[in-house]
Structure 1
Amino acid sequence: MFDDDVARQARAHALDVWPQEACGVVSGGRYIRVPNIAEDPENAFEMPADAWLNYTPQAVIHSHNAKIHPHWPSKGDMETQIATGLPFGIISCDGEVTTPVLWWGDHCLDTPLLGRSFVPGVFDCYGLVRSWYWQERGVRLPDFARSKNWWEEGDHLLTDHFEEAGFTAIDANEARPGDVFFMQLVSKVPCHSGILLDDSLCLHHLDGRLSRREPVGPWLKRITHWVRYDA
C-alpha cells in the first residue's frame, strides 16, 4: 500500500514505545509519529485532535502489545477506522520483535474472494460478503464494528443490521444466486454468513479455514435466515 520505509518506521516506533501502543499517521507517503494520549496507553490509543488537522492523514497505524492483545483490530479499532474511512494498520510487538503491518479498511474489498486466511474483523465471513457484493455487483455494503466472538457478548450483528445494509428477509424456498444466508454454529444466535452462488454452491469463510466455494447442501440444516439485497 505504501513503500517499505513506512512499515520500517512504524515498526521501529512500536519497539521504541513498547509496552505502550504506538500510533502514527501516513501523510505525504511518510510515517509520522504521533503521541498516544489515551488514559491507558498500554491497552488503547488516542491521537491529539490536531493530528487530524495538521497532517491530513492518508492512513493510521498503531501497535498492539502482543503479550496482551491479538494481532487483529478490536471493536474499538474498527469503530475508529469506520468513522474515518481511512486505511488502518496494526503492528504487534512483544518488546523484541514486531509483526508486519496488518492493513484493513475498504481497500480490502478488492482482495481475491477465494483462499483468504481468516482474520477477525478483516477477512471474516461478513468481510467476504462485503467483498463479493463489491466485486460482483459494485455495491459497497456498510461495515460494522465487531469483536472476534461478538455472538458470545450479546451482539446480534447479522440479524440486527441486515436491513440497514439494504437486505430484506426472504423464505428459504425463494433463495437464488446472490442471496445471503445466516447460520447458527454452536451458538445461541446466527453467527456466520455466506452467499449462494447457484443452486448447489455457496461461498463462505469460516474461522480456521480459507475462504472457499463448496456445496451448500451439507449446511442447509444450519441456515436460519435468507436475505436479499434490494436497496
Structure 2
Amino acid sequence: MSPFEFPRSLIATALAHAQSESPCESCGLMVRAAGELVYRPCRNLAEGQAHFHMAPEDFARAEAEGEVVAVVHSHPNASPEPSEADRVMCERWGLPWLIVNVPVGHWQVLHPSGYRPPLVGREFSHGVLDCFSLIRDYYRETLGLELPDFERPDDWWAKGGNLYLEGYEKAGFVDVTGSPLRQHDVLLMQLRAKVPNHAGVYLGADVVLHHLQASLSKRETYSGFWAKVTRKVVRHHSLC
C-alpha cells in the first residue's frame, strides 16, 4: 500500500485523533469494511508518553468489522520518521504503519521489509527492544532457538512482578548458579529493585551482551559490577 492509497480524509481523521491524545501517542487501525476504507481509533494502554500499547479488545473489534490493512500511531512533537521500535513492530504485525506527527501534520508510511535490529547498538524500547528482547534475538540468530515471549508491563519489578525468576523455567532454562560460566549462559541481574529485573548473555572471555534502559545495547566486561549484581545464572536445557 503506497502512501497515496490512504485517502486524505482518513489521514485528517487520524491527525485529529492524534491531536486529541497529545502529548501521549495515539493509535488506531485502517480497516476495509464493506469495501470501504475507514479509520478506527483505539485506546493506548501504555503508561508513558513515548510509546503505545493498543487495547486488544479494540483490535478484535476492528478485526470483526473487516480486514485490518494498516496500523496508525502518532509521534507527538516529533518527526514521523519510524523509530527502531516502529520498524521491529511493523515486522511483527506484518502490516503497513502510518505514522503521523502533531501538531505539524506530517506523516509517513512504513512497510514490512524484513528488518532485523542489530544485536549491538540497538535503541531501547521496553517490551519491544529491551534486555529480554535482546536475549531472544541472540538465541534465535546465534543458536537457532526460538524462546517464548512474555508480556512485560512497564516497571513490572516495582509492581510486585518477578518475571525472570518465575519465567526462566517456562522458557526452557535451568539454574546453573555456581557452576563455571559457559558461552550463551543467561545472567539474571538485580538493579535498584527487590527482584532480578535485568538480564544479559554471557559471550565468553569475561564479556556480557546486554541492553540497559535509556542506552544502546552493548558488550561489556562482566567481572566487577555486573558480576556483583548477578543473582542467578541459567542455561538453556539444550546446552546442558
TM-score (norm 2): 0.68
| Correspondence for 1:76 | none
One-letter code aligned to 2:41:
N
Match of 1:16? 16
Partner of 1:52: 63
1:228 to 224, 230, 235: 235
Q: Check conservation: 2:27, 2:74, Cα contact below 8 A.
A: yes
SS at match of 1:129: helix
Offset of 1:185 from its aligned partner? 0.8
AA in 2 matched with 1:19:
S
Alpha carbons 2:124, 2:214 under 8 Å: kept: yes
What is the alpha-carbon distance in structure 2 between the residues aligned to residue 102 and residue 157 of structure 1?
Answer: 32
Q: Which AA in structure 1 matches 2:16?
A: D
What's the secondary structure of 1:143's corresponding residue?
coil
- 1:155 corresponds to 2:161: yes
Q: Decide which moves more: 185-194 or 135-144.
A: 135-144
Provide structure 2 residue ranges, at least 5 long, that are not aligned to the other structure. 46-51, 78-82
Note if contact 1:72-1:121 (Cα within 8 Å) is conserved in structure 2: no
Partners of 2:111 and 2:164 lie apart in 1 by 24
For residues 30 and 15 of structure 2, the distance between their equivalents in structure 1, rounded to whole angstroms, comes to: 16
Which of 108, 119, 128 is the matching residue for 1:122?
Answer: 128
Change (3 A) 1:6 1:72: farther
After superposition, the Cα gap between the structure-2 partners of 1:37 and 1:223, relative to the gap in structure 1 and judged at 3 Å, is closer
Q: Is the 8 A contact 2:27 2:42 kept in 1?
A: no
CA distance in 1, matches of 2:84, 2:60: 25
Q: Which residue of 2 aligns with 1:131?
A: 137
Q: Give 1:33 shift.
A: 3.7
CA distance in 1, matches of 2:221, 2:174: 24
Counterpart in the other structure of 2:49: none
TM-score normalised to structure 1 length: 0.70
Specify the code of the residue in structure 2 equivalent to 1:226.
V
Partner of 1:185: 191
Matched to 1:15, the amino acid is L
Contact (CA 8 Å) 1:15, 1:98: kept in 2 or not? Answer: no
* 1:137-216 → structure 2 map (5 Å cutoff): 137-216=143-222
With over 3 angstroms needed to count, the CA separation of the structure-2 counterparts of 1:187 and 1:100, relative to structure 1, is farther
Deviation (angstroms), 1:62: 4.0
Alignment partner of 1:182: what SS?
strand
In 2, the alpha carbon distance for the partners of 1:215 and 1:14 equals 47
The answer to whether the 8 A contact 1:35-1:48 is kept is no
For the 8 Å contact 1:121–1:147, the answer to whether it is kept is: yes
Task: Let me know the Cα RMSD of the aligned residues.
Answer: 4.0
Equivalence for 1:78: none
Query: In 2, are the aligned partners of 1:11 and 1:98 still within 8 Å (CA)?
Result: no
How far residue 5 of structure 1 moved from its aligned partner, in angstroms, is 5.2
Q: Deviations over 1:61-80 (max 9, x none)?
A: 345878xxxx999xxxxxxx
What is the count of residue pairs matched by the alignment? 207
Letter in 2 for 1:227: V
Indicate the SS of the match to 2:41. Answer: coil
